[in-house]
A and B are shown apart, each in its own frame.
Chain A
Amino acid sequence: MEIITNRDGEILTLKLKGRLDTNASMEFEQQVEESTNQNTKNMIIDFSDLEYICSSGLRVIIQAAKKLKSLQGELVLCSMEDYIQEVFEISGFDTFLKIFASKEEALKSF
């Protein structure tokens, strides 16, 4: 899986491309760890090019959300395929993670 990073002011966007399977989740976790700190605490994960996710990926996302919250920041998600969004809904993640239809909307939310 490829992770493309982008900055809009203080907001960091991680765009995931490919499949977030158990193996990719470990690299993803590392990327999140390296990217988040006192200066980078607002993050968007862009799912527009992600075609697969599993529970390991969900776990990394929830840990990222917790970490950013502890830094007084926030993680939001955007641009999911319908079947990917369904996984978040089935897991109940949509009750505490904001999911936007587009990156523009996600950026506006900060």
Chain B
Amino acid sequence: MTSDIDNIIKGKSFSFTLDNNFSELDRLHPIVEHFGHVHGLEKRKKFEINLVVEEIFTNIISYAYEDKNDHPILFILLCDKNNVTIRIEDDGAPFNLLEAEPADLKADLEYRSIGGLGIHLIRKFVDEIKYQRQENKNIITIRINCGIKEG
């Protein structure tokens, strides 16, 4: 990570775009990791943020688009005294993560279905999650309480 990115991250918010491509995960993880590091987040919290962002991103890649084109997905990360706020915008088909079917957690190994697990994890690790549809975009905003010390 360059010092340019450090300077941007220490400001109010940090934004970047990724294409709707699984290979972009290789860019996503170091950015989110660095964001957590700069704001002094503990290991567990950094993991949870990383996980939630990946789950949302991979959901968008898998379900938001029917064409084979590249689409930019916008991420805005913000850290204040107690919270990390993350906003993710895509211009794909209307898709509200919050209305997706929850995972069947009671099913045993034989009958456990594979779907819904990502969304279940997102719900468990965020303190607040909001979906909006605005100007042909899906906007997911999540807040994760971090109890960050002023640095």
Within the complex, the shortest CB–CB distance from A73 to chain B, in Å, comes to: 13
Query: Does residue B2 face the partner (Cβ distance < 8 Å to A)?
Result: no
Instruction: Please give the residue numbers on chain A whose beta carbons come within 8 Å of chain B beta carbons, in ascending order.
Output: 19, 21-23, 51-56, 58-59, 62-63, 65-66, 69, 82-83, 87, 90-92, 95-97
Q: Are A22 and B105 in contact (CB under 8 A)?
A: no
Cα distance, A65 to B117, chains bound together (Å): 17
Interface band, chain B: 20 to 34
Contacting residue for A62 out of B47, B55, B109, CB 8 A: B109
CA distance A28 to B26 in the complex (A): 17
The reply to whether B55 and A95 form a contact with Cβ atoms under 8 Å apart is no
B76-117 at interface with A (beta carbon < 8 Å): 103, 105-106, 108-110, 112, 114, 117
B residues adjacent to A (C-beta < 8 A): 22-23, 25-26, 29, 43-44, 47-48, 50-51, 54-55, 58, 103, 105-106, 108-110, 112, 114, 117-118, 120-121, 124
The 6 closest A-B pairs by CB, nearest first: A55-B118, A92-B105, A55-B117, A83-B44, A96-B109, A90-B124
Are A54 and B29 within 8 A (Cβ)? no
Chain A residues positioned under 8 Å from B117 (CB to CB): 55, 58-59, 91
Chain A residues near B120 (CB, 8 Å)? Answer: 90-91
Q: Is chain A's interface secondary structure helix, strand, loop, or mixed overall?
A: helix
A-B contact pairs, 27 of them (CB 8 A): A21-B29, A21-B54, A22-B22, A22-B25, A22-B58, A23-B22, A52-B29, A52-B47, A52-B50, A53-B51, A54-B51, A54-B121, A55-B55, A56-B58, A62-B112, A62-B114, A66-B109, A66-B110, A83-B47, A90-B120, A90-B124, A91-B103, A91-B105, A91-B120, A91-B121, A92-B105, A95-B108
